[in-house]
């Protein structure tokens, strides 16, 4: 059975390492913060200007001056710090953030990613995504393996306008965990109950399948 | 040096059609509400607005879009505004979309006398079209240029009559860089205090960058995505 | 994330011959005294030091110069140090003199992932030799590159265990940019407090830039030019 | 009679205009702060990180953490602000400072200035001077007209390594006030009791002398 959004978030949370500063994009990536493994301490950076982002405020405690990059009201943890947007992207561009997790419309086998524009249809802007993908050493994409019509979003080449080139290292979808290296996707894990054949069928890009593809272990 | 002006009308004196205006804020957080409402009132037209976002349909820069006072927007993300998307897709509105970090750095550069700098952001994308590409440490970068504005309008939490500013929490965002990059920088603040009341060690924007300051009459501080958990 | 180390010895662990070290401070104001003294103790040699000044003969970086531990200095002004001038004129010491604003900006660029930027400072002077020149708005500029360091050692007034820093008055100077530009950044502070005790709105350097923090044992805070008026 | 250092500072102080932010270099320029004309409000920037610099502290009130660019202990006026060196030079390079006053070893008729290095002899470094002269629109040089041997320091071309090119607009010496334009010095005022002939004799660069050269009025 393929993963839901929470499953994807849980699997990505397993990639967190102690002491990392992490930037989580809008959507599925935001959910990762809810599933930090026991014993792992990380700190979340939100590019609008906070490090040490905490959970949503209790009802009635919302502060219009304290939001995350998704414009949601948030709280600040002990030891948090606020800063301006130039400093925020200095952290990102200067590779002081160890992990970036973001969503995508398409990912290609060379690590290209497209997630900001559908020409003539949806043009919301790239926000901080282009800075994040061009800068981070460690980028994990959280996405659905296929679109609603069933077409693969794990491609040989992106068809949509790119957000960044040769940058994605790992993709976690509702079906699989894949690494990207040497211009190919490499299947690492299957979602519980999902067969290698299903993953291969849903993947347009070149996919290297090892002899043994373990199932993800969640919870 | 006293920079205080008595109200928003005086603060925006000299605002003219076809000017380039920077406006601080991220989403609806830390935007100069009073000045935007005054800009609507004046009916000024043909503006080029540099702002990370474009407000929502009935608040922030959305108010200027409704009245078609904006000719061109320079932003990084405009996804919360239907009227914006309509005007852009129909070609009524020119739009220059810029990676958020490049936008912030270009404003800072404009204020800091740095005419251009290299950044990896946008390399290989349509953002890089027509821009110089150069490799540093084996990694391709593109050349981005400084941004400045006729007026930069920022919003702070506290300010003093010298124009020194302190922002609150994430309402800081683009305000400090834009304050640096205006030919004339206008600050609207929630609380205006006499010079000497702010701790010189805690000031975020030095008064040298600010030409006019006033206490805003009313701040709605609308929340875009109210998200809470239960006690 | 707890960045606290127990003392200056732990803070400087991994310091090796021939490393590049940034040191905050302007004159003797805001220099990491404890770390400099420890560097002398370790006897480390062949250092490239990036610091606006070079201390005086018997304090600050002057202590490392006396012991000939420095191979190369990258500074903007070194006029208060006779031993420095002697080593430089005799050719024992390599010296790269950089305009102060370019030095500050190059450190910031190093920390901010900006590999290079244009500045008017130094055009037409020997500083511009071998550097690309380009005109912007009719004015010639030169291309300057980012600076980074193996260790950046900074001094702050207050810090918390997360590495967040607050500087005092003009002891801030180069410390914030250098803190950004170290592969490993070490902060020595006059007062180290638990996370949560500093107001997140008043922090000058975010803990993300700092890898190790400790409370200095003793701060002499020597004054270089004591100038007073009579009551 | 030629001016002393205080005289030069007093004359330069007359150039201050209301509302200006001013950067004063080490030496004579520092003295300018003592002679601000009545009714003129200016604010002093020191490039090590303070705006709103006040007078020296009272004996016993010195603070090692509060100095000016000359490393002297100072005080902060009401409304002062501290900032880092990058921000300080953002103010300078970004032309937010309206006037820079600095000393020089040599000035040339095209506006070149040399004030930081005597090859093989004195190499103290340029400090912030190169940023200041390359950035400021309005630069006044405070200097002696000749060196101790009597040789002119107001030259056709600088002989020492340059600090900046084509940047000086006005020179105030112990003998004269001169503007620089169109590649020439233009005599504007004479020091009290100093003749035009004395000034011409002490000036190596091309000097345009108008029919009437008024005496400076000090105090």
Tell the residue number behind the tokens 């393929």, with chain if given.
A2
Cα separation, A75 vs A80, whole angstroms: 10
Q: Look at residue C80 and tell me whether its pLDDT is greater than 80.
A: no
Give B104's contacts in chain C (Cβ within 8 Å): none
Cα separation, A165 vs B139, whole angstroms: 11
Each residue's pLDDT tens digit, D172-216: 999 999 999 999 999 999 999 999 999 999 999 999 999 999 999
What is the band of C79 on the pLDDT scale with cuts at 50, 70, 90?
A: confident
Residues 6+ apart with CB under 8 A from A122: none
- Which residue from D163, D143, D162 is spatially nearest to D154, judged by alpha carbons? D143
The structure tokens listed for A128 are 């901080």
For residues D99-110, average pLDDT: 97
Each residue's pLDDT tens digit, B167-221: 999 999 999 999 999 999 999 999 999 999 999 999 999 999 999 999 999 999 9
pLDDT at B230: 87
Cα separation, D79 vs D52, whole angstroms: 7
Tell the residue number behind the tokens 């037409």, with chain if given.
C124
For residues D107-133, average pLDDT: 93
Q: Give the E-state strand segments of D29-159 in sequence order.
A: 43-46, 50-53, 76-82, 99-103, 106-108, 113-114, 117-118, 122-123, 139-142, 154-155
Among C105, C114, C168, select the one facing B201 at the smallest CB separation: C168
Each residue's pLDDT tens digit, C85-101: 889 888 999 999 999 99
Each residue's pLDDT tens digit, B113-133: 999 999 999 999 999 999 999
pLDDT at C125: 98
What pTM was estimated for this model as a whole?
Answer: 0.97
For residues B45-54, average pLDDT: 97
- Which residue from A85, D153, D132, A97 is spatially nearest to B176, judged by alpha carbons? A85
Give C113's contacts in chain B (Cβ within 8 Å): 119-120
Residues 6+ apart with CB under 8 A from A107: A113, A114, A141, A143, A153, A154, A155, A158, A168, A171, A180, A205
- Per-position DSSP letters for C167-207, written without gaps between them: --GGG-TTHHHHHHHEEEEEEEEEEEE-TTSS-TTS-SB-G
Shortest CA gap B101–chain D (Å):
18
Q: Look at residue D1 and tell me whether its pLDDT is greater than 80.
A: no
Shortest CA gap B153–chain D (Å):
17
pLDDT at B126: 96
Coil/strand/helix, residue B177: helix
pLDDT at D30: 92
Distances (CA, A) of D3 to A81, D176, D198: 54, 9, 13
For an interface test with D, which of C96, C99, C111 has the most D Cβ atoms less than 10 Å from its Cβ? C99
Give B114's contacts in chain D (Cβ within 8 Å): 93
Provide the percentage of residues in chain C whose pLDDT is more than 90.
93
Query: With contact defined as beta carbons under 8 Å apart, do D13 and D31 qualify?
Result: no
Give C120's contacts in chain B (Cβ within 8 Å): 113
Q: Interhelix angle for D85-93 vs B100-112, to 10°?
A: 70
pLDDT at C88: 87
- Touching chains, A (3+ CB pairs < 8 A): B, C
The neighbouring-strand residues paired with D185 are D180, D207
The structure tokens listed for B71 are 């000719």
The structure tokens listed for A198 are 């299903």
Taking an 8 Å cut-off on Cβ atoms, the answer to whether B162 and D52 are in contact is yes
Shortest CA gap C36–chain D (Å):
18
pLDDT at D154: 98
The structure tokens listed for D156 are 């056709």
Cα separation, C215 vs C155, whole angstroms: 10
Taking an 8 Å cut-off on Cβ atoms, the answer to whether D123 and C26 are in contact is no
Q: What is the largest CA-CA distance in chain D?
A: 54
Size of interface B-C (CB pairs under 8 A): 48
Distances (CA, A) of A177 to A49, A102, A202, D80: 31, 15, 13, 56
Q: What is the ipTM of this complex?
A: 0.97
For an interface test with C, which of D130, D132, D160, D166 has the most C Cβ atoms less than 10 Å from its Cβ? D130
pLDDT at D65: 98
Q: Look at residue B47 and tell me whether its pLDDT is greater than 80.
A: yes
Q: Is D79 on the interface with B (CB under 8 A)?
A: yes
Cα separation, B152 vs B184, whole angstroms: 6
Taking an 8 Å cut-off on Cβ atoms, the answer to whether B29 and A64 are in contact is yes
Among C78, C102, C173, select the one facing D125 at the smallest CB separation: C78
The structure tokens listed for D185 are 């010095």
pLDDT at A14: 97
Q: Is the dihedral of CA C22, C24, C28, C33 positive or negative?
A: negative
The strand pair at B182-193 and B212-215 is best described as parallel
Taking an 8 Å cut-off on Cβ atoms, the answer to whether A67 and B29 are in contact is yes
Angle at C13 between CA C8 and CA C19, to 5 degrees: 110
Distances (CA, A) of C212 to A87, A92, C185, D34, D154: 20, 20, 6, 45, 53
What is the band of B81 on the pLDDT scale with cuts at 50, 70, 90?
A: confident
Cα separation, C107 vs A92, whole angstroms: 16
pLDDT at D122: 79
- Which residue from D87, D90, D53 is spatially nearest to D70, judged by alpha carbons? D53
pLDDT at C89: 84
Query: With contact defined as beta carbons under 8 Å apart, do D74 and D57 qualify?
Result: yes
> In the annotation, is A47 catalytic?
yes
For residues B145-167, average pLDDT: 98
DSSP type of residue C126: G
Residue D191 phi, psi dihedral angles, 5° rounding: -65, 150
- Could you read off the pLDDT tens digit of each residue along chain A, which spans 219 residues? 799 999 999 999 999 999 999 999 988 999 999 999 999 999 999 999 999 999 999 999 999 999 999 999 999 999 999 999 999 999 999 999 999 999 999 999 999 999 999 988 878 899 999 999 999 889 999 999 999 999 999 999 999 999 999 999 999 999 999 999 999 999 999 999 999 999 999 999 999 999 999 999 997
Do the two chains B and A touch, given a threshold of 8 Å on CB pairs and at least 3 pairs?
yes
Q: Is D198 exposed, middle or buried (0-12, 13-18, 19+ CB in 10 A)?
A: middle
Give C104's contacts in chain D (Cβ within 8 Å): 84-86, 88-89
pLDDT at C230: 87
pLDDT at C231: 79
Among B200, B208, B209, select the one facing D76 at the smallest CB separation: B200
pLDDT at D190: 97
Cα separation, C163 vs C160, whole angstroms: 5
Cα separation, C10 vs C14, whole angstroms: 9
Taking an 8 Å cut-off on Cβ atoms, the answer to whether B224 and A67 are in contact is yes
Task: Report the phi/psi class of residue D73: left, alpha or beta, with left for phi > 0 and alpha for psi in -120 to 50.
Answer: beta
What is the band of B137 on the pLDDT scale with cuts at 50, 70, 90?
A: very high
Shortest CA gap A219–chain B (Å):
23
Q: Which residues of D are catalytic?
A: 47
Do the two chains B and C touch, given a threshold of 8 Å on CB pairs and at least 3 pairs?
yes
Q: Look at residue D37 and tell me whether its pLDDT is greater than 80.
A: yes
Among C1, C113, C195, select the one facing A90 at the smallest CB separation: C113
Each residue's pLDDT tens digit, D76-95: 999 999 999 999 999 999 99
Shortest CA gap B181–chain D (Å):
8
Q: Is B138 on the interface with C (CB under 8 A)?
A: no
Residues 6+ apart with CB under 8 A from B144: B102, B105, B106, B109, B116, B117, B118, B119, B131
pLDDT at D136: 87
Shortest CA gap B150–chain D (Å):
15
Among B105, B118, B201, select the one facing C115 at the smallest CB separation: B118
Q: Nearest chain B Cα to C202, which residue? A: B202
Q: Looking at A15, A41, A43, A47, which residue is catalytic?
A: A47
Among C117, C168, C200, select the one facing B117 at the smallest CB separation: C117
Q: Look at residue D120 and tell me whether its pLDDT is greater than 90.
A: no
Each residue's pLDDT tens digit, D144-161: 999 999 999 999 999 999
For residues D71-77, average pLDDT: 96
Q: Is A100 on the interface with B (CB under 8 A)?
A: no
The structure tokens listed for A166 are 């040769």
| Whole-number average pLDDT of chain B | 96
Taking an 8 Å cut-off on Cβ atoms, the answer to whether C77 and D57 are in contact is no
């Amino acid at each position: 059975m393929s993963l839901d959004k929470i499953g994807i978030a849980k699997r990505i949370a397993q990639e967190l390492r102690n002491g990392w500063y992490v930037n989580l994009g809008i959507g599925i990536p935001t959910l990762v913060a809810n599933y930090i493994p026991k014993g792992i301490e990380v700190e979340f950076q939100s590019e609008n200007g906070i490090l040490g982002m905490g959970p949503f405020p209790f009802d009635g405690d919302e502060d219009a001056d304290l939001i995350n990059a998704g414009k949601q009201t948030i709280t600040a943890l002990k030891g948090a710090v606020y800063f301006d947007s130039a400093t925020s992207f200095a952290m990102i561009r200067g590779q002081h953030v160890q992990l970036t997790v973001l969503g995508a419309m398409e990912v290609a086998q060379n690590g290209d990613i497209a997630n900001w524009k559908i020409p003539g249809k949806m043009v919301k802007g790239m926000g901080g995504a282009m800075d994040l993908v061009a800068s981070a050493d460690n980028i994990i994409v959280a996405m659905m393996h296929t679109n609603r019509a069933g077409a693969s979003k794990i491609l040989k080449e992106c068809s949509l306008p790119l957000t960044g080139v040769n940058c994605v290292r790992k993709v976690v979808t509702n079906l699989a965990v894949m690494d990207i290296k040497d211009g190919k996707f490499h299947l690492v894990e299957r979602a519980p109950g999902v067969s290698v054949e299903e993953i291969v069928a849903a993947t347009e890009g070149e996919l290297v399948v090892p002899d043994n593809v373990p199932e993800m272990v969640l919870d | 040096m006293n920079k205080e002006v008595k109200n928003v009308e005086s603060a925006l004196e000299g605002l003219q059609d076809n000017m380039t205006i920077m406006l601080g804020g991220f989403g609806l957080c830390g935007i100069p509400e009073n000045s935007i409402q005054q800009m609507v009132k004046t009916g000024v037209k043909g503006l080029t607005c540099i702002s990370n976002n474009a407000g929502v349909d009935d608040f922030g820069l959305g108010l200027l879009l409704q009245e078609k006072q904006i000719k061109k927007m320079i932003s990084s993300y405009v996804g919360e505004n239907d009227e914006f998307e309509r005007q852009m897709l129909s070609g009524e509105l020119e739009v220059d979309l810029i990676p958020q970090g490049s936008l912030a750095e270009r404003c800072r550069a404009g204020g800091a006398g740095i005419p251009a700098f290299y950044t990896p952001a946008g390399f290989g994308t349509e953002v890089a079209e027509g821009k110089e590409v150069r490799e540093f440490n084996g990694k391709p970068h593109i050349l981005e240029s400084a941004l400045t504005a006729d007026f930069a309008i920022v919003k702070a939490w506290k300010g003093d009559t010298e124009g020194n500013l302190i922002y609150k929490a994430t309402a800081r965002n683009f305000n400090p860089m834009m304050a640096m990059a205006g030919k004339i920088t206008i600050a609207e603040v929630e609380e205006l205090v006499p010079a000497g009341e702010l701790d010189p060690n805690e000031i975020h924007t030095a008064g040298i960058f600010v030409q006019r300051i006033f206490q805003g009459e009313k701040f709605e501080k609308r929340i875009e995505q109210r998200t809470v958990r239960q006690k």
